[in-house]
């Protein structure tokens, strides 16, 4: 449940803030809570990063969407129509990462051995 709330929060934050600034502001608060709830740090970091990156291109406020639309000299509406299939796929990937932690922790565990 905690990760679902975090997903929504970070998607909204990602729409209006740059990724690194959002991490600097939110991780000192959210990381200790995730540790208390027993969420793997690698899994939590991947979920946070994917959330914030999706937020950058998610309409209506996505910063990268606005910049790309301006560079391409198209309206934000046209940019939104072009990016929506990719955003929908990104949401599916985010859901898979959220509900199946092995997708983000499997490779580190395989290469480094089981972590404590």
Q: What is the DSSP string of the chain?
A: -HHHHHHHHHHHHHHHS-HHHHHHHHHHHHHHHHHHTT--HHHHHHHHHHHHHHHHH-TTT-HHHHHHHHHTT--HHHHHHHHHHHHHHHHHHHHHHHH-THHHHHHHHHHH----
pLDDT tens-digit readout, 19-40: 899 999 999 999 999 999 999 9
Q: Is residue 68 part of a domain?
A: yes
Convert the pLDDT of each residue in 69-115 to its tens digit. Answer: 999 999 989 999 999 999 999 999 999 999 999 999 888 888 888 76
Domain that holds residue 51: 2-109
Q: Is 114 a member of any domain?
A: no
Domain for residue 116, yes or no? no
115 part of a folded domain: no
Domains in the chain, number: 1
């Amino acid at each position: 449940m905690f990760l679902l709330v975090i997903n929504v929060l970070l998607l909204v934050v990602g729409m209006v803030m740059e990724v690194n600034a959002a991490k600097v502001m939110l991780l000192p608060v959210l990381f200790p809570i995730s540790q208390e709830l027993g969420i793997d740090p690698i899994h939590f970091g991947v979920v946070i990063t994917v959330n914030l990156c999706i937020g950058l291109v998610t309409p209506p406020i996505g910063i990268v969407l606005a910049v790309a639309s301006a560079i391409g000299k198209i309206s934000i509406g046209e940019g939104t129509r072009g990016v929506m299939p990719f955003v929908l796929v990104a949401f599916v990937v985010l859901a898979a990462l959220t509900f199946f932690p092995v997708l983000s922790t499997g490779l580190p565990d395989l290469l480094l051995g089981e972590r404590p």
